[in-house]
Every structure is written in structure tokens, then in C-alpha cells.
Amino acid sequence: MGRVENIEEQGAVQVPPPPPKRPVGPFLIYYKKQLELMKSNGIVDKISTTVKKEIREKWMNLDEDSKLEYKKEARENSEKYANLSHNIPRKTRKVSLYTRCAPNRVHLMVSNLNERQRFVIREMGFGSMLDLRSIQLNRDFCKWLVEHLDHNSCALDICGGGYQYPLKM
């Protein structure tokens, strides 16, 4: 097997286009336009803190009617971005399930309990834990259960329908 020198020429890798940048607010639109104006008029060569402060002071002293133009542009940019963001494929959230207690360890612990300890566990309502055998759990199934279980409404979401499970008190 030979080595592929240029993967892009072979068509093996397709790099997705970068997502659009988030729109800036009205102040940043004003700021950028003021910088461009200052540079084109030869007033400023470098952007210093005094220049930044001067632009910020101008913005603060600007009346609301003048700011309205920049707010309108920011709103339009935001609406365009919102329309574009619906077309961007989102990464699915990977759910990890970590457990520190394996079922076979529970079985080992239960098998070492004396009768008084077993009686107390039954009285607390956890008697079914005493019947656990050394089993192996499917982690993918456990992840699915965690993702589809709504503990607030006591429902298991199966194909869009919620199965209510009874609460035993």
C-alpha cells in the first residue's frame, strides 16, 4: 500500500466551509466605520488607546437618532445570521455515561451481607437489590435510557410518545 501525498487531490477529504461569523452590535459597527474614516482622512495611522477612548466618547455623546442607523444595521445583520444559522449542521452532543459501581460488585457486596443487614435493606424498600445477580449492562442501552428518561414527568420518551411509569412510595 502506497502513501497518499495529497489527500485533497484524491478526493478523500472534504473540508466543510467555516460557519458564518456572529454579527456585531451597533457600537462595533460605529467603531469600525469611525476607524476607516480616520484612516482614510490620514488622522490616524495606529490604533492606540487614546483613539479607542475618543471613538467611545463620541459614541456615548451621540444622540439616539444617530445611533438608530447603527442599531438598524446591527438588527438586519442579526436577522441575516439567524437565517443562515438554521442551515448550519450542528454537531450532535455526545452523552457519556460513567458509573463507578459495576453490577457484579453489587452482587459481590450483597452476597456478603448478614441477615440483619438484608432485613434493613428490605425495610428501606430496596429488597430487589438483594436479588441482583452478576450481570453485564449494555452501556449504549444505559445511555439511551438516560437520554430518553424525563425524571420531572416520570415518563420515558419512546418514539415521541411518553410512557408514564408508576411511582411506588
Domains in the chain with CATH codes = 21-85 (1.10.30), 103-164 (no CATH)
pLDDT tens digits along 12-45: 556 666 777 888 899 999 999 998 888 888 887 7
Question: pTM score > 0.75 for this model?
Answer: no
Cα–Cα distance, 153 to 166 (Å, whole number): 11
pLDDT tens digits along 58-90: 999 999 899 999 999 999 988 888 777 566 666
Q: What contacts 24+ positions apart, CB below 8 Å, involve 99-104?
A: 99/142, 103/132, 103/134, 103/135, 103/136, 103/137, 104/134, 104/135, 104/136
Closest CA relative to residue 31, chosen from 2, 74, 76: 74
